[in-house]
């Protein structure tokens, strides 16, 4: 790892806790209807997440161009390059490491699904991006989502599939891996223990309550995860800013979920 990568990685993991709390506002085409849900008002969603004090924001390049100037220097910027729909109707890389440099980003994220007939193409996304990013000392954060094609391509979180997703991440050479939490402490701890790069958990699977989301985050941290990058479980549960503060207390202060909820007023 060169000096530039080390410096950028230190910005991602800048908190004294050694953990990372990221907000994901980078879903773009994957959700379809942009008039509903927590990202219907994208500028407002970003403002509410930022008010909660995240360490970094993951966002699509076009949205960053329009929205990020107001927040520059207040958190690390991660540009999301992966763009796909569950049925693979859309599957494109929409940003390069050079783009991330031009945007002043601290890392480039690449979201990919795995399993199915298009898996090889997505793995190529990652390997090509890692190789191109090396020229710029740009860290690559892989968001890896296993899919069940017997169930319409639904994302799954079983221990075997999450272990497979993590293996793809580090064997393609990425610097950070984001995967969903399995819900099984022992299996997740085993997967983390055999991975040579930091693992952070995704906000999914979507939970019914904010307490449930905080609990799975707390469990993942105890199992060795280095933080969380949260989307739906952040802006999908009531007051986004209070939810962000609660996540921050769990991730950086080690507070138990119920106490974090109360302290954040959530």
Catalytic site residues?
A: 26, 145, 178
Q: How far is it, in rounded angstroms, from Cα 28 to Cα 189?
A: 31
- For residue 22, the cross-strand partners are 56, 229
- CB-based burial of residue 194 (10 Å sphere; 0-12 exposed, 13-18 middle, 19+ buried)? exposed
């Amino acid at each position: 790892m060169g000096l530039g990568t080390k410096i950028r990685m230190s910005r991602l993991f800048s908190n004294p806790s050694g953990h990372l709390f990221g907000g994901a506002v980078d879903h773009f085409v994957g959700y379809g209807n942009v008039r509903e849900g927590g990202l219907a008002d994208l500028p407002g969603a970003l403002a509410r997440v930022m008010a909660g004090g995240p360490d970094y924001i993951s966002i699509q390049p076009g949205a960053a161009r329009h929205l990020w100037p107001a927040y520059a220097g207040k958190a690390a910027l991660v540009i999301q390059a992966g763009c796909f729909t569950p049925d693979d109707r859309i599957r494109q890389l929409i940003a390069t490491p050079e783009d991330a440099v031009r945007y002043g980003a601290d890392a480039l994220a690449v979201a990919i699904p795995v399993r199915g007939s298009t898996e090889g193409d997505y793995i190529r996304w990652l390997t090509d991006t890692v190789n191109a990013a090396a020229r710029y000392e740009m860290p690559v954060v892989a968001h890896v989502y296993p899919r069940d094609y017997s169930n319409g391509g639904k994302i799954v979180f079983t221990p075997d599939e999450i272990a497979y997703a993590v293996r793809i991440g580090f064997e393609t050479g990425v610097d950070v891996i984001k995967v969903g939490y399995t819900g099984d402490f022992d299996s997740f701890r085993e997967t983390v223990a055999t991975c040579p790069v930091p693992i952070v958990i995704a906000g999914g699977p979507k939970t019914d309550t904010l307490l449930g989301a905080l609990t799975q985050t707390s469990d993942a941290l105890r199992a060795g995860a280095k933080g969380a990058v949260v989307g739906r479980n952040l802006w999908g549960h009531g007051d986004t800013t209070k939810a962000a503060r609660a996540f921050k207390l769990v991730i950086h202060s080690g507070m138990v979920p119920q106490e974090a909820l109360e302290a954040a007023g959530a």
